[in-house]
Structure 1
Amino acid sequence: METPLSTIELAFDGVERPEKLTLHVAEEHDNYDYDNDGMHRQRDHVGRWQDVPEEHLLRCVDGLSHLAADGVPYYLPAAMRWVIRNFRDTDSRLVDWTIYQLAPNREDKNLSERYDRRFARFTMPQWRACEAFLDYLLSEDTDGDYIDAKVAREARSEVRSKIKQGEQAWVDNPLPRRDSEIES
């Protein structure tokens, strides 16, 4: 049986760490420090996202919202995994901040476009992993005792919209079949 954790693992496995805007750099950009990226990057984990130390995630919560399209698919699954494992036993902002990454502000054109750019590289399995993450949290905390359930529902709606768009794109433009697959 597939779990949200295994779905996240499979969907994001092999995603490489961003070259420039890493988590500590993004956190310092939140503090308006744009002049010391190299120094901040040295504090970042090098390797698989599965091995990002939880201390980095907890220290750089605000950095999540400053990540670019190459950083979101690397750091977001690490944050989602941490949230699934810890949301009941923590008061860390990382719980809701992770959910907020998946909920765009569609009323603000600039923020809406930024969201779309940040998630432009997501694959269908990655969107489904985000849906599994939100479904799990909402099924475990329907009343919002541990999570911001209202925003989680909004985020899930957005994620499902992305999935539906992807499915429709497939229907409209399926991959060409090999000759061996075409019936005569």
Structure 2
Amino acid sequence: MDFRAQATLDQLRQAFEMVQLGSGVSLHEANVIDDYGTAEQRLAARALDTEQHWWEVPDEAIALGWGYCALSFMDARGLHYYLPAYASWVLRRGFQSDSAAFEHTIYTLESVQERPGQFVLFNFSQAQAIQAFLQYLLSVDPDDSCFTHHYQRAHAIWTAHAETLKEYTHD
């Protein structure tokens, strides 16, 4: 991992350090939601997610066939908690994974405008960390990658989102 990826990981960790899942939809629970599971099945699945911090989410849970699409079934709290785990996974794996988690992470970041309620918990420093993550991907993207326009679109969206948050930040 190069120093820019490490710096971006550090920025994500710092910006999202205090984020807890709380009552948000958990990773295994999202899979049950995807399968139209019952409330009892959701509760049982949620019990499988025992991590106290998002950075403890196992890479295998993100990369597994069901894990990569879990972000689509998260509520705002779940997305706020798991998105830095997914972005960190992408930074550690780079372009070296066969998992669709990579593509799905970028898709999720592009969908802010279609799902604005899912992103209400992100603050200015968190939006900046996501923006830095996307900037890093743009900087290492192979020329003419099929993802280039997705990175660019997501980066533009998060740049605008960060600017909006900055206007409302009274720190």
Task: Determine whether 1:32 maps to 2:39.
Answer: no
Partner of 2:130: 130
Partner of 1:61: 68
Distance 1:90 1:38, change over 3 A: same
The higher radius of gyration belongs to 1
Partner of 1:6: 10
Q: Is the 8 A contact 2:28 2:45 kept in 1?
A: yes
Look up the equivalent residue of 1:148 and give its one-letter code: F
Show CA shifts across 1:81-126 (max 9, x none): 01011022112101111111111275xxxxx2xx211100101000
Partner of 2:46: 41
Residue correspondence of structure 1 range 106-121 to structure 2 within 5 A: 106=113, 112=114, 115-121=115-121
| Identical columns (%) | 29
Distance 1:9 1:144, change over 3 A: farther
4+ residue segments displaced more than 3 Å:
none
Give the TM-score of the pair, scaled to structure 1: 0.81
Using the alignment, how far apart are the partners of 1:13 and 1:20 within structure 2?
16
Look up the equivalent residue of 1:124 and give its one-letter code: F
Using the alignment, how far apart are the partners of 1:100 and 1:70 within structure 2?
18
Matched pairs, number: 164
Q: Is the 8 A contact 2:8 2:132 kept in 1?
A: yes
Using the alignment, how far apart are the partners of 2:93 and 2:162 within structure 1?
27
| Structure 1 unaligned residues grouped into runs of 5+ | 107-111, 176-184
Deviation larger for 132-141 or 88-97: 88-97
Give the TM-score of the pair, scaled to structure 2: 0.87
Q: Is the 8 A contact 2:24 2:74 kept in 1?
A: no
Tell me by how many angstroms 1:72 deviates.
1.2
Deviation larger for 40-49 or 122-131: 40-49
| Structure 2 unaligned residues grouped into runs of 5+ | none
